[in-house]
Amino acid sequence: MPEIHVAKIAQFPDGERRIVKHDDREIGVFHWEGQFYAYENLCLHQGGPACEGVMMHRVEDMLGPDRTWLGQRFSKDMHFVCPWHGYEYDLKTGACVGDRSLKLKRFDVVRRGEDIYVVAG
């Protein structure tokens, strides 16, 4: 399977992403908390550029001991949002937040020395 060069690690800071192309496919590669994640840049909703939207922490509701709503906060979980219609995906799994049975196509990421490659298979 072909490996596509993404970047030198020193040129790919934590918290950033890159879009690489292979044939007619685009792949979004994310660097988050020292790990790399790669998904097809194709939203499951209507084919938008899923990997190009805003990255944000998951919003979660806070409930009191009596189950009353106390407000909201950001969790440690990172999501990215398709800019076309707001479909939201879990950065670590590629699962659609609204329906976890739907997942973006995932690609392996390989480190060779100081270089990062995505396996486009």
What are the structural domains of the chain? 3-119 (2.102.10.10)
- pTM to 2 decimal places: 0.87
Rounded Cα–Cα distance for residues 61 and 4 (Å): 40
DSSP character string of the chain:
--EEEEEEGGGS-TT-EEEEEETTEEEEEEEETTEEEEEES--TTTS--GGGS-EEEEEEEEE-TTS-EEEEEEEEEEEEE-TTT--EEETTT-BBSS-TT-BPPEEEEEEETTEEEEE--
pLDDT in tens, the chain (121 residues): 799 999 999 999 999 999 999 989 999 999 999 999 999 999 999 889 999 999 998 888 899 999 999 998 888 889 999 999 889 999 999 999 989 999 999 999 999 999 999 998 7
Strands 17-22 and 25-32: antiparallel
